[in-house]
Amino acid sequence: LWVGPGGRRVLIGRNADSNRRLCFQVAKGTDVWLHLRDRPSAHVIIPVQRGHSAPLEHLLAGAQLLLADARVAEGEAVDVQYAFAKNLR
């Protein structure tokens, strides 16, 4: 758990088991999932209430958490994938 801008929660999985639990047991359908493409990394869930969207500053903070957790070198190009949790398989 990380508290983002405005005191909103950002949830982080640290390994394969916690990533799976976070994505398929904790996340709700309207929550936003983030992950680094083609790289082992944490999964981030940004809780979002139905009818609302994730604030840009939370999406950016979630991406920064992923980059820091994966120890991506400064200046290295990495894609951040994101989707609604309801679309994860």
pLDDT (0 to 100) of residue 14: 84
Whose CA is closest to 59, among 50, 70, 68, 48? 48
The pLDDT of residue 82 is above 90: yes
Rounded to whole angstroms, the Cα distance separating 13 from 73 reads 21
Mind listing the pLDDT tens digit for each residue in 16-39?
999 999 999 999 999 999 999 998
The pLDDT of residue 2 is above 70: no
pLDDT (0 to 100) of residue 71: 92
Q: Count how many residues are written for the chain.
A: 89
Secondary structure, 3-state, 61-89: HHHHHHHHHCCCCCCCCCCEEEEEHHHCC
Mind listing the pLDDT tens digit for each residue in 43-69?
999 999 899 988 898 899 999 989 998
Cα dihedral 86, 48, 33, 73, rounded to 10, equals: 170
Token pair of 45 as six digits: 């869930």
